[in-house]
Amino acid sequence: MDSNNLYYFEEAPIKKAIPHFALPMILGTSMSVIYSVLNAYFLGTLHDSTMLTALALTLPLFAIIMALGHLVGVGGGAFISRLLGEKRYDVVKSVSSFTIYISLAFGILFIAVALPFMDQIVSALGATPQSFEYTKDYIFIMILGSPIVILFFNLENLIRSEGAAMTSMIGMIISVIVNIILDIIAIYVLHWGVTGVAIATVVANLVACIYFAYHIQRKSEFLTLSFKWFKASKEIVSNVFKIGVPVFIMSIFLGAMALVLNKFLVEYGDQAVAAYGLSSRLLQLPEFILMGLCEGIVPLIAFTYTANKLRMKQTISFTIKIIAVLAIVFGVLVYSISDSLIGLFTTDPQLIEMGSYILHVTFLSLLITGFTTLFTGIFQATGQGTAALVMSLIQGVILIPTLFIANHSFGFHGVVWSLVIAEAISFLVGALMLYLLRNKLEPDMDEIMG
C-alpha cells in the first residue's frame, strides 16, 4: 500500500476520506442502473406496455448473469488487491487469468443449461400469454450473450482491483454510450423492439470488454489475458470463491425475490408488473448510490477497526448523516415529481397512476435500506461473516411469508407494502445483531457506537 492510500486511511479528514473511498464505488454502481432505465425509456416510447412487462420479467435472469460475473470478479478482485499489497505480482497474473477464463466458462455453461429450457424459464419468470413471446425474445439474446456480460462484470472488478478506477469508469461510460446509440438504431431504425434492446445491451458490454482487454494487454503492469498464466491452485480457488460465493448467493437471492414478487403482481395484470418494473428501475439509482457509499467505505471501516476505533466511530457517524440527507433529498424529489418520472417511460394514465403509487410506497424504505446496507458493511469489515450473511438473506426470508399474508389480506396494496415491511424487519434484525455483537465480541464497541 502506498503512502497516498495510507494518508486516506490514517490521516485525511473524515469528510475527505469517505468521498475518496466511496465516490468510485457510487459511480460504478450507478452506471449499471443506466442500462435498465434507458432500455425501459426507449421501449416506453413505443407505447406498448406488454414490452415493458417483458423487460420487467427478465430482471431475475439478468441478476443471475450479473451474479456469475461478480462470483469471480469480486472474489478475484479482492484477492488481487491483497496480493498487490504483498508484492506477489506473479500470483496476481495467475489470478487475473484464472478469473477471466473461468468467467467465460461459466457463460458457456450457462448457455448449455439455459437454452434448452427457454420456454420453461419464460413461464417461471411469470410471463402471461400476451408477454410470453416478447419475454422469450429478450432472454434468448441474453442467454446467448451471457459469456460477454459475465466477462464484463468480471473485468470491471479486476481493473478496479489494481487501482485503475478511472479506466473502470471510462469502460462503463463507453458501454452506456454504445447502448444508447444501438438502442436508438435497433428500436427506431430497424424496428427490432425488445430483441433490439437485448442485442444493444450485449454489444455494449462487448465493446467495453474490448476496451478493458486493451488496457490489460497494453497498459496494465499486473493483470494479464494470457492463458499461460492460468493456474487453478488451491490458494487461488479458495481465495476467489470464499469471497465470491457469498456475493453470488446474495445476488441470486435478490433475483429470486424479484421473481416471487413478479409472481404475485401478475395476478393483478400486466399493468401491475410493468408499473413495478418502472418504479423499481427509478428506485435503483438512489439505492445504488447508498449501496456504493456503504460498500465503498468498508475498507476504511476495516482499517480503523484495528487501528483507530475513534476514527471508525467518526466514519460511521458521518456516513449515517450522509445516508439521512440523501434519503430526504431523494424522497422529496420522488414525492414531488413521481407522475412526471413514470411519464418519462409511458403515456398510459393507468400505468402512470399505478407506478407513481408504487414509487411513493417503496421510497418510504429508502432510509431503512441505507442503514441495513451500512450494517452489512460493518459486519463485513469487522469479520462478522455470519451476521453479514444473515443481513444478506433476511429480507428475502421475511418477504416471502409477508407477501402471502399481505396479498391474502390486502390484495395489490398488500403486495406493494410487503417490501417496506420486510426492509423494516431487516433493519431491526441488523440493529439487534450489531448491539449483541458489540457487547459479546468487542467491549470497545461501546465507544464506537457511542
- Maximum mean pLDDT: which of 9-13, 169-173, 444-448: 169-173
Do 149 and 293 lie in one domain? The reply is: no
Confidence of residue 1 (pLDDT cuts 50, 70, 90): very low
Do 290 and 200 lie in one domain? The reply is: no
pLDDT confidence of residue 288: 79
In a domain, 37, yes or no: no
pLDDT confidence of residue 255: 64
Q: How far apart (Å, rounded) are the C-alpha atoms in residues 102 and 81?
A: 19
**pLDDT reading at 2 higher than 50:** no
**pLDDT reading at 98 higher than 80:** yes
pTM assigned to the model: 0.70
- Write out the residue range of the structural domain in which residue 446 sits: 1-21+268-450
Q: Of the candidates 236, 266, 296, which is a domain's last residue?
A: 266
Per-residue cell: 377: 458493511
Do 180 and 160 lie in one domain? The reply is: yes
pLDDT confidence of residue 106: 94
Determine the distance from the C-alpha atom of residue 158 to the mean position of all C-alpha atoms in its chain, rounded to a whole number: 16
Do 278 and 250 lie in one domain? The reply is: no
CA angle 385–388–389, rounded 5-degree value: 85
Do 14 and 79 lie in one domain? The reply is: no
Q: What DSSP character marks residue 189? A: I
Do 237 and 173 lie in one domain? The reply is: yes
Mean pLDDT, range 107-112, rounded to an integer? 95
Q: What DSSP character marks residue 308? A: -
Q: Of the candidates 218, 242, 266, which is a domain's last residue?
A: 266
Task: Output 66 or 211, whichever has higher pLDDT.
Answer: 211
Tell me the DSSP string of 257-277. Answer: HHHHHHHHHHTT-HHHHHHHH
In a domain, 34, yes or no: no
The number of folded domains in the chain is 2
**pLDDT reading at 447 higher than 60:** no
Percent with pLDDT over 90 in the chain? 16
Query: 3-class SS at 130?
Result: coil
Q: How far apart (Å, rounded) are the C-alpha atoms in residues 290 and 319?
A: 10
Do 336 and 348 lie in one domain? The reply is: yes
Do 300 and 422 lie in one domain? The reply is: yes
Do 2 and 92 lie in one domain? The reply is: no
**pLDDT reading at 74 higher than 90:** no
Do 163 and 67 lie in one domain? The reply is: yes
pLDDT confidence of residue 130: 80
Contact 422, 257 (CB under 8 A): no
Do 320 and 244 lie in one domain? The reply is: no
Do 132 and 165 lie in one domain? The reply is: yes
Q: Of the candidates 199, 232, 266, which is a domain's last residue?
A: 266
In a domain, 401, yes or no: yes
